[in-house]
Structure 1
Amino acid sequence: MRWSLRIVQAVVLVGLIVAAVLPLVWLAKASVSTTTELVTDPLTLIPSVFDWSNYAVVWNDLGIWRYLLNTLLMALGSAAVTLFVCVTGAYTLSILRPRWGDVVYWAVLATLFIPGIVSLVPLYLTVLDLPGLGISLLNTMWAVWLPAGASAFSLVLAKRFFDSIPRELIEAARIDGAGPVRVLWSLVIPLSRPILSVLALLSAVAAYKEYLWPLLVLQDPGVQPISVALPRIEPALEYSVMMAALFLSMVVPIGLFLLFQRQFLRSVGMANGIKG
C-alpha cells in the first residue's frame, strides 16, 4: 500500500513537471526554428535547422532591448514603491500604533474584497489629473509605480510580520535612546529582510507581467513595457520571430526566481507561519 502511494505521488509529480516544463521547451525550440517548419511540423521538440537569426531580428531590428529595459525599470520601481509604502505603513500600524490605527487597518483589509476593475476608472482619472497638483502622470513610470505601491496584501503581510517581532527588543532600543526612525532602520528592517525580499519579488513579477494598466497609461511606444509592446508589433512579425521575442520576455522573471528562489521559498514559509 505504501509503495503504491509513492508510485502515484511520483507519477503525479512527473506529470506536473512535464506540464510546466514542456511549454517552455517548445517555446525555446520555436524561437530557433523557421516559420515554415513551425507551420508544417509544430509538434517536434528539436528543429531540423537552428535559425539563430530570429534573435538578431528581435534584438537589432525590433529593438526589443528597449522594451525589456522599460519593463525592468517598471518592475524595480514598483517593487521600491511597494516596499516604501508597506514598510512605513506597517511600522506605523504595528509599532507606533496611533489612536485610529485599528480603523485604518480594517479599512485596508476591506479593500482586499474590492475587485481591481472597480477602481480602474477612478484610478485612471486620478493619474490623468493628479489632485492638488493638476499634472498628468500619463506616459511616465510614476503612473505605474504609485498604484503598485497601494497594495493592501503587502501592507497586511508586512504588518503581521512586524507584529511577530518581540516587543522586548523594541522597548530595549527605546530605552537606549533610539527614536522611531532609528528603531525602524536599525532593528525592524534588518529583522524583516526575509519577508521584505519576497514582497519585493512578488511586486516586481506582478508589475513585469501586468498588461491592462500599462496599456492605458503608457501609450507612448518609447516607454511601453514588453507586455504591451509585443501585442502591438505582433501583426508585423513572422511566427518564429514572435516566438523568439516571447522567449526573451520570459528570461528575466525566470532568472529572478532562480536567483532568489531560496529567499522566496523561505519567506513564503515564514509568511504562512505568521498568518495565524
Structure 2
Amino acid sequence: MTSTTDTSPADVEPSILRVTTTSPAPGGADPGQDPSRRPRRRRGRGSDDSNDRGIVSPSDWRRRGIRRSLRTSHVVLLAILAFTGLGPILWLGKAAITPTQDTLRTPMAIFPNGVDWENLQAAWSTIHLDVQFLNTVWVALGSWAIQILVATTAGFALSVLKPKYGPILNGLVLATLFVPAVVLLVPLYLTILDVPFLGVSLINTFWAVWLPAGASAFNILLVKRFFDNLPPEIFEAARTDGAGPFRLFFSIVLPMSKPILGVVSVFAIIAAWKDYLWPSLVLADPKVQPLSVRLPLLQQTIELDVYLAALAISTLIPIILFVLFQGLFLRSAGLGGAVKG
C-alpha cells in the first residue's frame, strides 16, 4: 500500500515562489525594456496609413496662419481658372452687343458708347441662323443615333456573345485608334462620293456625316469595357430561362447600360456640334450646312459686330441646352455601377 506524503511550503524552491509572485510592469510595458525610454507617439489623427498624409501635416493644419494661406491660395487658383475659362465667352457676349468701331478701338472696354441690341436681330435675320441651327441639330442627333447603335451592338457582340474570333476583332478595332484621322479623309471621301454596291453619292446629305460618325472605335471599346464589368451570373440565369441574344440585349443589357449610354451620348453630341473639317468637305450646299461650317464662310462678307453676334448666339445655344439638361448629363457621366445592391 502506497502512502502519500504532504509537501509543505517550506520544501518548495524559492525560485518558483519568486516566479509566481512577479507582477507585470506598470502600463503593460515589456519587463525587458528600459523603463526610462517612453514609447514613441505616432503623429496624425489616429491613423498610421501613409497614404492618407497630405502636403500639410495635421499639426500644421491646426495653425491658423497656414490654414488661412492655403484657403486663400485655393480661392485665387479657382478665380484664375474661372477667368481663363469664362473670359473669352464673356468677352464674346460683350462684343456681340457692342458697335464695330468700339470693338476695334477699345476691345477690352465695357460698352464705351452704349449697347447695340440690333446686332442680335441682324445676325438672326441676315445669316438665317434658324436654318443653320436646325441643320446642326439634325447632324448631332443623327450622329448620336448611329454611334449609339454601332457602339452598343458591337460592344454586346464582343463582350457578351464572345464569338470565336472575338479577340482578333477586338484587336482590329483597337488598331484603328492608332491610324491618324487625316489619313482616312481621302478614301472616306471617295467612298461617300460613290458608295460601293449602291452607286449613289451621299454628298450634300446628312448621311455623309452620320455614317462615318458611327465608325468610332473609342465608343465601341468604351461600351465593351462597361459590358465586361456586368455580372456574368445574370446572363447565365437568363440563358437558363431560355433567353436568346435579342432578349439579352433589349431586356437585360440596355436597361443596365444607362450610365455608359449617357457618356457616349455626351461625347457624340459635343463632337458633332463642333465638328468642322469633315462637314465642310461633304456639305457644300448652304441649305444643309451646320453652324460650325456656315459661320466661318461668312466672316468676310458681313460686319464684325453682326458676325460676333452670330458667334455668340451659336455659343449660347449649347450652353442653354446644358443648363436645361445638366442633371441628366451629370448623372450619366457618373458611371456609378451597373447593378445596385
Provide TM-score, normalisation by structure 2.
Answer: 0.76
2:301 corresponds to which of 233, 236, 247: 236
2:236 corresponds to which of 171, 177, 182: 171
Matching of residues 1-276 of structure 1 within 5 Å: 1-46=66-111, 48-270=113-335
Deviation, 1:233, is 1.4
Structure in which a larger fraction of residues adopt helix: 1
Q: Distance in 2 between matches of 1:272 and 1:25?
A: 38
Instruction: Tell me the alpha carbon deviations over residues 68-115 of structure 1, each in whole angstroms, 9 at most, x when there is no partner.
Output: 110111011000100000000000001111111111111111111111
Report the residue type matching 2:186 in the other structure.
V
Change (3 A) 1:3 1:110: farther
Instruction: Tell me the alpha carbon deviations over residues 152-199 of structure 1, each in whole angstroms, 9 at most, x when there is no partner.
Output: 110000000011111111222222332211211111111111110121
Report the residue type matching 1:95 in the other structure.
V
Q: Is the 8 A contact 2:155 2:223 kept in 1?
A: yes
Change (3 A) 1:256 1:110: farther
Report the residue type matching 1:77 in the other structure.
G
Report the residue type matching 1:102 in the other structure.
P
Q: Distance in 2 between matches of 1:61 and 1:13?
A: 40
Change (3 A) 1:47 1:95: farther
Q: Distance in 2 between matches of 1:107 and 1:272?
A: 28
Change (3 A) 1:4 1:85: same
Change (3 A) 1:272 1:245: farther
Q: Is the 8 A contact 2:258 2:332 kept in 1?
A: no
Structure 2 residues without counterparts, runs of 5 or longer: 1-65
What SS does the corresponding residue of 1:236 show, helix, strand or coil?
coil
Aligned length: 273
Q: Distance in 2 between matches of 1:199 and 1:47?
A: 45
Q: Which has the bigger relative contact order, CA under 8 A and spacing at least 6?
A: 1
Structure 1 residues without counterparts, runs of 5 or longer: none
Q: Distance in 1 between matches of 2:116 and 2:221?
A: 49
What SS does the corresponding residue of 1:206 show, helix, strand or coil?
helix
Q: Distance in 2 between matches of 1:215 and 1:192?
A: 34
Identity of aligned residues (%): 49
Deviation, 1:35, is 1.0
Change (3 A) 1:116 1:7: same
Report the residue type matching 1:214 in the other structure.
P
Deviation, 1:32, is 1.0
Q: Distance in 1 between matches of 2:83 and 2:314?
A: 21
Q: Distance in 2 between matches of 1:105 and 1:179?
A: 23
Report the residue type matching 1:239 in the other structure.
L
Q: Is the 8 A contact 1:94 1:163 kept in 2?
A: yes
* Bigger shift: residues 149-158 or 30-39: 30-39
Larger radius of gyration: 2
Q: CA RMSD in A?
A: 1.9
Provide TM-score, normalisation by structure 1.
Answer: 0.93
* Bigger shift: residues 80-89 or 192-201: 192-201
Report the residue type matching 1:66 in the other structure.
V
